[in-house]
Amino acid sequence: MRTPSPGSPAGRHTALAVALLAATVVAAVVSLAVGSRTIGFGEVLGALFSDVDSDNATVITSQRLPRTVLALVAGAALGVAGALMQGHTRNPLAEPGLFGVNAGATFGVAVLVFVFGVEARGATVVAALVGAGTVSAVVFLLGLGSLRRGAMVMLAVLGTTMAALLSALTSALILLDRQTLDVLRFWEVGAVSNRDLDLAVPLLAIACVGFVLAAANAFSLNALALGEDVAQALGTRVRRARVVGIAGVTMLAGAATAVCGPIAFVGLVAPHVARVLSGHDYRWLVPYAALIGAVVLTAADTFGRVAAPPGELQAGVVVVVVGAPLLIAITRRRRLVAL
CATH code where residue 103 lies: 1.10.3470.10
Q: What is the pLDDT along the chain (339 residues), one digit of tens a residue?
A: 455 555 577 788 889 999 999 999 999 999 999 988 889 888 898 888 887 778 888 889 888 998 999 999 999 999 999 999 888 888 777 887 777 888 999 999 999 999 998 888 888 888 988 998 899 888 877 776 555 555 567 777 888 899 999 999 999 999 999 999 988 888 888 888 877 667 667 778 888 999 999 999 999 999 988 888 888 888 888 888 888 988 898 889 988 998 888 998 899 889 988 988 888 889 999 999 999 999 999 999 999 998 888 888 899 999 988 877 877 776 676 455 455
Whether residue 161 is contained in a domain is answered as yes
In a domain, 244, yes or no: yes
Residue 42 maps to a domain? yes
CA atoms of 30 and 123, how far apart (whole Å): 32
List the domain range (segments joined by +) for residue 98.
9-337
- Phi, psi for 282 (deg, rounded to 5): -70, -15
How many CB atoms sit inside 10 A of residue 243's CB?
Answer: 17
Q: Looking at residue 332, what DSSP letter applies?
A: T
The pTM of the whole model exceeds 0.85: yes
Query: Is residue 156 assigned to a domain?
Result: yes
Q: What are phi and psi of 38, to 5 degrees?
A: -80, 130
DSSP letters of 220-233?
Answer: HHHHHTT-HHHHHH
80, 36, 12: which is closest to 221 by C-alpha? 80
d(CA 92, CA 21): 25
Helix ranges restricted to H, the chain: 9-33, 41-49, 55-59, 65-89, 101-116, 121-142, 151-176, 178-187, 197-224, 228-233, 238-260, 266-278, 282-307, 315-331, 334-337
- Please report whether residue 130 resides in a domain: yes
Asked if the structure places residue 1 within a domain, the reply is no
Burial of residue 153 (CB within 10 Å: 0-12, 13-18, 19+) is: middle
Question: Is residue 110 included in any domain, yes or no?
Answer: yes
In the chain, how many domains are there? 1
28 in a structural domain: yes
